[in-house]
Amino acid sequence: MIFHFGLKIFSTRQAHGVGNIEGFDYNEVRMMYLDHSATTPVDARVLDAMLPYWTENFGNPSSLHRFGQRALAAVDEARQTVADILGAHTREIIFTANGTEANNLALRGVALAARGAMGDHNAGDHKGRPNIITTPIEHHAILRTCEQLEREFDFEITYVPVNRHGIVNPDDVARAMTERTVLISVMYANNEVGTIEPLAEIGKLARARGVAFHTDAVQAGGYLNVNVNDLNVDLMSLGSHKFHGPKGVGVLYGRSGIKILPTQTGGNQERGRRAGTENVPYLVGFAKALALAQSERAETNARLRAQRDRLVEHVLETIPGAELTGHPTERLPGHSSFVIPGAIGDEMVFALDLAGVAVSTGSACTAGSPEPSHVLAALGYAPDIARGALRITLGRENTDREMQQAMRVIPETIEKIRRQ
């Protein structure tokens, strides 16, 4: 399957005349990584914190002997670190395998618990179908979970629209709420266009109506304030690999009093809400990465915004017809995204890769899909325009010198694609 995917990439490059694949040596190209919304390299300090828990402190946290207790102490310390940063209690922190699992547990866990409390509406003791409110620009971990809840469990899903910049109007959310609404889920910052949503306002409205409010904060965890009390959220999903931590670990914050039906059963780990032996080195890595990202956030964000703004200005000046997507200012600090008329997203990604610049068209989870972005469609872009999507996302290791090179290579490469 991996081999087949590789053939698909190469044949697509050749078909569009993007580069001479025969005899091409990737090792001769010095690569610049500008796809930090897809994933980030693990910080050396994070790796150092993780290493002992693969070797001398390898115990199972559920074991009673000292090996197990050392591992349990590390898990407890990691949980405390995350809780302190989020302004939460340790009992409200649930470690998961990734942000997708955290999203699934939040939606399915809360929705099914609420559905049970409402009773079987098919048996005549109902008040109507239970309702979930979300937006059409969410990650597929949210959208496909909602689709399953609607299809298999008879939930009603309300999709509140967004404007051209991808902003949700809190008043629209308020109007969508009914006495049957059991959950609202609005992402903190969009992975494809970088727009930051007005969570605190939405959360205030949800709390006044007694409705649980969840946010997918996977993209935001390393760059924005994640204090759950400031944001008025009841549930929050985070994923470590978006802020220089390891892949394969996430967190769901669940406010005390919010009922969550476990979707993974077995042992009593995570207070019975998520069974399975704890992945100790990864939990340690998550906590270390989050602590570093939040402590260095102001300095990192200032540098990323300056680099991003120079890049955006240059792209719009040098690529005719290019349009910035998402909100021009209320967006993640290192995030820029465009639609480029006269070019196809995948072609731009392949050509820029050959030129030494790693970028993307949008979500890594849907890379290679022939369908245009559902996010851009929700923002009102026509399919032929949306197919020209290009996402360039910066990270803490990118230098000003790299930005100068990127500003030269990107317009040159896109001009070549347009000519071909």
Alpha carbons within 13 A on the beta-carbon side of 299: 7
Residue 13 pLDDT: 45
Confidence class for position 368, pLDDT limits 50, 70, 90: low
Question: What average pLDDT score do residues 267-271 get?
Answer: 85
Q: Is the pLDDT of residue 19 over 70?
A: no
**Averaged pLDDT of the chain:** 90
Task: Check pLDDT > 50 for residue 213.
Answer: yes
pLDDT digits (tens, 9 = 90+) for 278-332: 999 999 999 999 999 999 999 999 999 999 999 999 999 999 999 999 999 999 9
| Predicted local confidence at residue 3, as pLDDT | 23
Long-range Cβ pairs for the range 47-52 (8 Å, 24+): 47/285, 49/284, 49/285, 49/288, 50/246, 50/281, 50/282, 50/284, 50/285, 50/288, 51/281
Question: In this structure, what is the dihedral angle of CA atoms 225, 163, 391, 235, given to the nearest 10 degrees?
Answer: 30
Number of H helices, E strands in the chain: 14, 12
SS3 of 189-249: ECCCCCEECCHHHHHHHHHHCCCEEEEECCCCCCCCCCCHHHHCCCEEEEEHHHCCCCCCC
Is the pLDDT assigned to residue 21 strictly greater than 60? Answer: no
Location of structure tokens 């005349």: 17
Residue among 306, 365, 380, 399 flagged as catalytic:
365
- Residue 28 CB-density burial (10 A; 0-12 exposed, 13-18 middle, 19+ buried): exposed
Question: What is the residue whose two structure tokens read 């979500």?
Answer: 363
* 8 Å CB contact between 375 and 137: yes
Report pLDDT digits (tens) over 325-359: 999 999 999 999 999 999 999 999 999 999 999 99
Using only the alpha carbons of the chain, give its radius of gyration. 22
DSSP-derived letter for residue 182 is E
Check pLDDT > 80 for residue 180. Answer: yes
Mean pLDDT (whole number) for 261-265: 89
155 vs 171: CA distance, rounded Å: 23
Structure confidence at residue 275 as a pLDDT band (50, 70, 90): confident
Residue among 273, 221, 240 at smallest CA distance from 106: 273
Residue-wise pLDDT for 72-100, tens only, equals 999 999 999 999 999 999 999 999 999 99
Residue ranges of alpha helices (H) inside 296-399 are 297-318, 345-354, 374-378, 383-386
State yes or no: pLDDT of 390 exceeds 90. yes
CB atoms within 10 A of CB 265: 11
Instruction: Identify residue 362 by its one-letter amino acid code.
Output: G
Which neighbouring-strand residues pair with 393? Answer: 35, 335
Average pLDDT rounded to a whole number, residues 128-149: 96
Tokens of 59: 């115990």
Q: Tokens for 209?
A: 């109506």
pLDDT at 127 over 60: no
Q: Residue 15: what pLDDT?
A: 41
Measure the CA–CA gap between 145 and 5, rounded to whole angstroms. Answer: 26
DSSP 246-294: -SS-EEEEE-TT-----SS-SS-GGGGTS-S---HHHHHHHHHHHHHHH
Output phi, psi for 116, to 5 deg.
-60, -40
Query: Where does the pLDDT of residue 117 fall: very low under 50, low under 70, confident under 90, or very high at 90 and above?
Result: confident
Structure tokens at 233: 């959220």
Q: Are 331 and 195 in contact (CB under 8 A)?
A: yes
Amino acid 14: pLDDT:
45
In the predicted model, what is the mean pLDDT of residues 133-139? 98
What gap in Å lies between CA 36 and CA 308, rounded to an integer? 13
Tokens matching residue 333: 């600090």
C-beta separation of 319 from 311 below 8 A: no
Q: What's the mean pLDDT in 195-215?
A: 98
Would residue 146 show up in a list of annotated catalytic residues for this protein?
no
Domains of the chain: 2-30+296-419 (3.90.1150.10), 44-295 (3.40.640.10)
